[in-house]
Each structure stands twice: as structure tokens, then as C-alpha cells.
Structure 1
Amino acid sequence: MEKIQCQGCGVVIQTTDKEKIGYTPPSALEKETVLCQRCFRLKHYNETQDVPMTDDDFLKMVSSISDSKGLIVHIIDIFDVNGSLIKSLPRITGDNPIILVGNKLDLLPKSTSENKLIQWLKKEAKEAGIKVQDVFLISSMKKTGIDELKQKIEDYRNGKDVYIVGTTNVGKSTFINALIKESTGYSDVITTSYFPGTTLGFIQIPLDEHSSLIDTPGIVNKQQMAHYLSPEDLKIITPRKEIKSRVYQLNNQQTLFFGGLARLDFIKGERQSFICYFSNELEIHRTKVEKADALYEKHNGELLSPPNEDSLKILPPLTQHSFKLSGGKTDIVFPGLGWVTVTGDETTVIAYSPKDVAVSVRNSLI
């Protein structure tokens, strides 16, 4: 049988084993658009199913780019820079030129300075050892910045292939759909969803007679919160519109819970503002440090939600990270969840996050 690829995720279609990737019923081959069963369920029922591919499988597949010649477009999630910037990118892509694209601009407060954000992203990339040709800010959902980026990609690629690279759930497929619609008028060419790991193989979209736009599988970063949550909880923590900052005036020895997924204890310092940037759907609860353990033990998964029952089965236990902050506004970042801006000097906090989801600090983004 002639090899057929799923038009949603790029995997090779097979009709013999329902348990393996790429399965579709034989009758589906007669349709104009052929989707594997996984993509069909994702597209029509918003259901996901486990994929028997390891993290190494994804990484090995994407690493083949280093043997090719083309432009690398690295898509990152502006709301989760720490979790979506691929620090091993030069090793994966070789000597190919890289442009960095910050997606989901529409989620940040309108007061955010785009120039400041671009300079900050350049600095973050440089510190990660990634040499970028340029940095762009876009919103795939709102189509903001797509026209300019499309023109810049054309300028930078010099007639060569364009590889779209990123971690899972940064909006690569949504970006490509927006790019294709701008160019051809076709909609929803690539399967998109809330769920990590939608694209299973390279998907090639012709740009001209000799080159293609190539969507690659998302690289799995286990430091992202998304990999430890049920689909229902993932929808709650994934912002869908501009995030509204929530400000808490705290005395030391007070605690903030972000659902039951993370916690921040204010240990030492003057009374000050803690500015929280999380999905508007995520509930934040305040209590005293002395009562925090008991509250978590009694109400995690109920009052402190998410996690729901399904997430509790896979969510690692919370581990703590202590930080002494000084020198102005600082962000405490929970990868894949959000961040808290601390405004005071000489401040000590303890941050709790699921094991392997490493909390970090940075100069204030906003």
C-alpha cells in the first residue's frame, strides 16, 4: 500500500493495529482528508490518548534537522519562557540560523512593554547559549504579528526549508495554521489541542517548488506542569485570554496557594505586594504559614483545586525551594503555571512545586 501520512499529526497511517500509532479504519482511507484515529478523536471529540513514543524518540526525530540546511523558527510560550526555551537547541539544529518567536502575546497584560520583552528574550536566549538572528512577538490565536513574521521568515530563509521547533504545547501547530491561512486561505491544516504532544512526525507544507515549511514533533520538557495534569485541569491552568494580575498585600508568615499545584510562603521581610500572574481560572488562597500544611493535607484536590482526582494519581509530591531576594522587583516562576512578582528588598520566601517542576527567579518581566 502506498504510504499515507495523517494530515493532522504527520504519522504514517496504518489500518491493522488499533493499539499502535497511526491507526485508522480502512474505510477512512476513502475520505479526502485522512486522519489517524487519535487525531480524529482529538479534532471531533477533544479526546486525547496516550502515544507509545518516548521522550528520546521525539528528541531523536527532531535532532535529524542538524543534517539539513534551513531556517529554524523556535516557538516559545511567552507565558512559560523557562519551560519552553530549548537550551539544547544548537545541539539539535546544528549550524542552521535561528529566529526566536514568542507566542501567546495576547495573554500578557496590555501594560507589558514589547520592546523590553524582546530585549529580555534576547538576553535569556544568549544566557542559554542560543545565538538568535532576531526575536519576534506574536499571537497565533489573535493573528497578531503573523504578517510581519511571515515576511521576515521569507527574508531569512534564502529559499531554504523552514523548520518550526518548540516544546509541546507552545502553540506551534496553531501558529502554522495561522501562517497557512494567511498564505493560502485554508483553515485547520494541523491538528491543534490543549494537550502536549499532538504532532507525531514531520509535516511538510510546500512553500515553493524547492522548499517546504516543516512542523516538527514537540520536544517534551518534563519540567512543565502540563505533563502531570489531567486534560480537565490543563484547561484550567492554560490561559485563554489576557491574564489579570491579582495583588495580595502580605505580612511575613503568610502563604499563598495556587490551587493545590504550588505554594509560596513569605518567611521574612516587610509587608509588601505579591503580584500574581496566573490563568484567571486558577483559584488562589491565602492563609498563615503555620496553618498551611494542615490546609493542604485536608483540602488538596477539593478547596485547593486543581488537581482533580485524575491529576492526583500522577502529580509528584510538592518540594520546596528557598530564595533570598534583593535588588528590586523579582519574579518567582512556576514553569507552565505562572509567576509571582515580589516588590520588596531583603525578602525570604519558600516556593513549593511538584518534584521536577523547578521553580526559578528572574528580573521582573513586567
Structure 2
Amino acid sequence: MATSETEALYCIGCGAKLQTTDPKAPGYLPAGTMAKAQADPDGELYCQRCFRLRHYNDIQGVSLTDDDFLRLLTALGQSDALIVNVVDIFDFDGSVIPGLHRFVGDNPVILVGNKADVLPKSVNQRRLTQWLSHAAHEQGLRPVATLLTSAKKGHVEDLLATIEEYREGRDVYVVGVTNTGKSTLINQIIRHLTGEQDVITTSRFPGTTLDRIEIPLADGKSLIDTPGIIHHHQMAHYINKADLNLVAPTKPIRPTVYQLNPGQTIFLAGLARFDFLAGQRSGFTVYADNQLLLHRTKLENADAFYAKHVGDLLQPPRPADLADFPPLARFEFTPKQKSDLVFAGLGWIVVPAGQTVAGYAPTGVAVTLRPALI
């Protein structure tokens, strides 16, 4: 990496312009380290934040505003490009970019459902793909293709083939909200195309890519990784970073079956609640991270039980996070067919047809009903 002293340098981990003046701003690097980087044409250029993240799993906050992300989205419609929109299939409502269809213009969009590896093998993937397409349509998005992938497992061959099918010599922008595995997916694509390993900084923490990162393609165009858009109603934003594994599973989920009578409640730690209100004694299957606490109790005592034990027995949230943890909002359903009651970013419970149930989640986090995937 030969460079003059005046040429701008960029972190290859997060894309931020390197600078030596403000430790709290993106791209900070101590002056001595910067001088060494400038003197070494083959050195790896990582800002201090990315270096600490890669080697110590230590995340340092930086300030990116909603206006920064709005500027990013506006640029999409001003480019002639193929848009690859990465969503978390475990958290579609928390990972869809609000209003994306208004920003992409006439550019085609490929919808990629990531983290397929954490779903049980019993999930009908064709039905899941159809549901993702339908959910995207309800958001106003009309993807030219919808497919599932696993960035963690490196299953990107179908995605690469689909990109080539629709790219038609254009740049490719990869967009998504924080915590969808977007940068991990980009790293797998780079590895597949060049053999390079883990070029872009990745972690479980939201917002680790801070500026656009351009990866050259063979025809002179680029694959462009963009900063993760902040979705303020994502479950991950309401819990301690030490508990993020509970809302971003890394291992296949094992279902838990409860035989319930009307008048019983299941707490999903202190993050969500499920009430069986009316119907016949039935089996309800819970799909959530295997480490997440599930606690059954009587509906008549549920409010008092939650008030007493949230942050204690019902954890997360942790005691230190209770002051900023929003109250749970209630949603009631009586599905006409076997359905999944989905707690965005946390999991779902399979509800038999004709049973009246209620789901609770932190205010702002979606609780929805969809046709059962299993």
C-alpha cells in the first residue's frame, strides 16, 4: 500500500477514514501507529476501534446519526446498481429497513434471509422463502429474487450466482440494519472470490461497519459494503451486550413443547410473555435460543410475578438495565389456522388454530402472526 503523506487512508475493517486527532470519532489511530502504517506498503490498515474489536472483542462507541444513514440510503437511488438487502430471518421485523423501497429507485433488489443455519431442520425453507417475499411486499419492496443463506457457514454460492444473474455489469450495494450478519456475509463472499479471510470487521455488536467499503470486482465494478442502519426497535438494543447471544442464536434451535390449559403464561426471560387466554388444552411449541430462560406460571398471577422478578429470576434484562427497559406491550390473536406467534428478534411460539392467545414484547418491538413454518 504505497501512499503519499497527504493521501487519505481508510480502515479496511470498518471503512472509516483514518485520522489521528479525535479518539472518539470514527477512524482514529494514534499518530505513531499511523506513521508506521504509512511507511509499510504491505501493512494492514485497521483503526484502533477495529483493532481492539478483532483482537480483544472490545467494542468502542462512535457517533453516527440518523442523518448519516439517511444520506447513505439516498445515495442508493442515485446509483445504477444492484441492491442486496440482507435481513435476519430470525428477526425480519427488526431487520427490515423502513421505507427502503422509496430509496432504491428503479434499482433491482435481491432479498437475502441470513442465519438459516440456526433454524431447526424441520422448518420448511420453501414456505420460509415465500413468507419473506410476502413480508417484503407488505413493506412495499418488490425483490427480483429471495433466497436463504448462512454467512456463518459460508453458504454463499447460490447468492453469488443470483448476483451475477441480475448484476448486468453494475456495482453491487449490500445493505442491511445492524446485527443481521451483513459484514460476515461480505467476508464469506470475499473469501470465496479471493481467498482472503475476515477482511471486514465483524462482531455481535450493532454498528461495526462505519463507512462504505468497496471490494473490486473482476470487471472494474465494486461490491460495496455499507454501514448497518440503526433500527431503533430491534430487540438487541434493549439488552446488555453480554446477553446478545440470546437474541442472535449461533446454534440450531431445539424446540420446547408445553401442554397448556387456558389461563397459563410462559415468560421468555423478562423480554417477552405469552398468555393462553381461551380454547382447548393444547400443545404450544417454543422456538428460541436454547439458553433463554422459559418460565411457566398462572395467568392470574403473571403481572405480579413479572413485577417482582423481572431483572432477577426473569433475566435478561439485567438489574442495571431496568431503568431503560421499556414496558411490555400486549397483542392479542385468535388464528384461524396453525400459526407462529413471532416475537421479533427473540423467537416464536406455534399456536394451534382457534386458540386465543396474547403476546407481549418491549414497546416498539413487533409481535406478529404468520402461517406456521413447520
Unaligned stretches of 5+ in structure 1? none
Tell me the distance in 2 between the aligned counterparts of 1:83 and 1:237: 11
Change beyond 3 A, Cα 1:59–1:18: same
Q: Does 1:342 align with 2:351?
A: yes
Q: Distance in 2 between matches of 1:276 and 1:270?
A: 18
Residue 305 of structure 2 corresponds to 295
**Partners of 1:99 and 1:177 in 2: CA distance:** 18
CA–CA distance in 2 between the matches of 1:320 and 1:120?
24
Shift of 1:123: 1.8
Determine the C-alpha separation between the residues in 2 that align with 1:197 and 1:110: 30
Could you give the per-residue CA deviations for residues 114-162 of structure 1, whole angstroms, max 9, x where no partner exists?
Answer: 2222222222222221111111111111122x11211221221111100
1:283 aligned partner: 293
**CA apart distance, 1:71:** 0.5
Post-superposition offset of 1:193: 0.5
> Separation in 2 of the partners of 1:223 and 1:340?
20
Percent identity between the two aligned chains:
50
Q: Deviations over 1:167-212 (max 9, x none)?
A: 1111110001001101111001111100111111110000125200
Check 1:310–1:173 CA distance in 2 against 1; reply closer, same or farther (3 A cut).
farther
Residue type at the aligned position of 2:256: R
After TM superposition, the structure 1 = structure 2 runs for residues 162-181 of structure 1, keeping only pairs within 5 Å, are 162-181=172-191
Does residue 21 (structure 1) correspond to residue 26 (structure 2)? The answer is yes
Q: CA RMSD in A?
A: 1.5
The answer as to whether partners of 2:235 and 2:247 remain within 8 angstroms in 1 is no
Residues of 2 paired with 1:305 and 1:272: CA distance?
27
Give deviations 1:309-341, integer Å, cap 9, x for gaps.
3432432122222x2313111211111111111
Structure 1 residue 27: Cα displacement: 2.4
The answer for the alignment partner of 1:196 in structure 2 is 206
Question: For 1:290 and 1:302, how far apart are their aligned partners in 2?
Answer: 20
In the other structure, the counterpart of 1:55 is 66
CA–CA distance in 1 between the matches of 2:232 and 2:238?
9
Q: How much does 1:87 deviate? A: 4.4
* 2:128 aligned with 1:120: no
User: 1:310-321 to 2 correspondence within 5 Å?
Assistant: 310-321=320-331
1:235 Cα deviation from its structure 2 partner: 2.0
Give the structure 2 partner of residue 332 of structure 1: 341
**Amino acid in the other structure paired with 2:33:** A
- Whether the aligned pair in 2 keeps the contact of 1:260 and 1:296 (CA below 8 Å) is yes
Matching of residue 357 in structure 1 with residue 362 in structure 2: no
* More displaced stretch, 68-77 vs 235-244: 235-244
Is 1:262 equivalent to 2:267 in the alignment?
Answer: no
Partners of 2:188 and 2:272 lie apart in 1 by 34
8 A Cα contact 1:272 1:344, kept in partner: no
1:228 is the counterpart of 2:222: no
Q: How is 1:109-148 mapped onto 2 (pairs within 5 angstroms)?
A: 109-144=120-155, 146-148=156-158
Task: Name the CA distance, whole Å, in 1 between partners of 2:28 and 2:98.
Answer: 34
How far residue 216 of structure 1 moved from its aligned partner, in angstroms, is 0.7
Question: What's 1:9 paired with?
Answer: 14
Please say if residues 8 and 189 of structure 1, whose CA atoms lie closer than 8 Å, have aligned partners that are also in contact. yes
After superposition, give the CA deviation of every residue in 1:82-141 in whole Å (9 maximum; x if it has no partner).
Answer: 222234122122110111111111111101222222222222222221111111111111
- Residue type of the partner of 1:230? N
Determine the C-alpha separation between the residues in 1 that align with 2:342 and 2:219: 45
Q: What is residue 38 of structure 1 aligned with on the other side?
A: 49
SS of the residue 2:297 aligns to = strand
SS in 1 for 2:90: helix
Aligned mates of 1:137, 1:360 — CA distance in 2:
21
Give the paired residue count. 363
**Cα distance in 2, alignment partners of residues 131 and 241 from structure 1:** 31
| CA distance in 1 between partners of 2:67 and 2:372 (Å) | 34
**Whole-angstrom distance in 2 between the partners of 1:33 and 1:77:** 30
Q: Distance in 1 between matches of 2:186 and 2:320?
A: 32
Whole-angstrom distance in 2 between the partners of 1:236 and 1:122: 26
CA contact (8 A) 1:87 1:130 kept: no
| Cα offsets for 1:247-269 (capped at 9, x unmatched) | 11111111110011111111111
Helix, strand or coil for the counterpart of 1:79?
coil
Q: 1:299 to 1:75 in 2, by over 3 A?
A: same
Contact 1:62 1:217 in 2 (8 A): no
Q: Does 1:307 align with 2:317?
A: yes
Q: Distance in 2 between matches of 1:334 and 1:55?
A: 25
Alignment-mate amino acid for residue 90 of structure 1: H
Give the distance between the partners of 2:32 and 2:185, measured in 1 at CA. 31
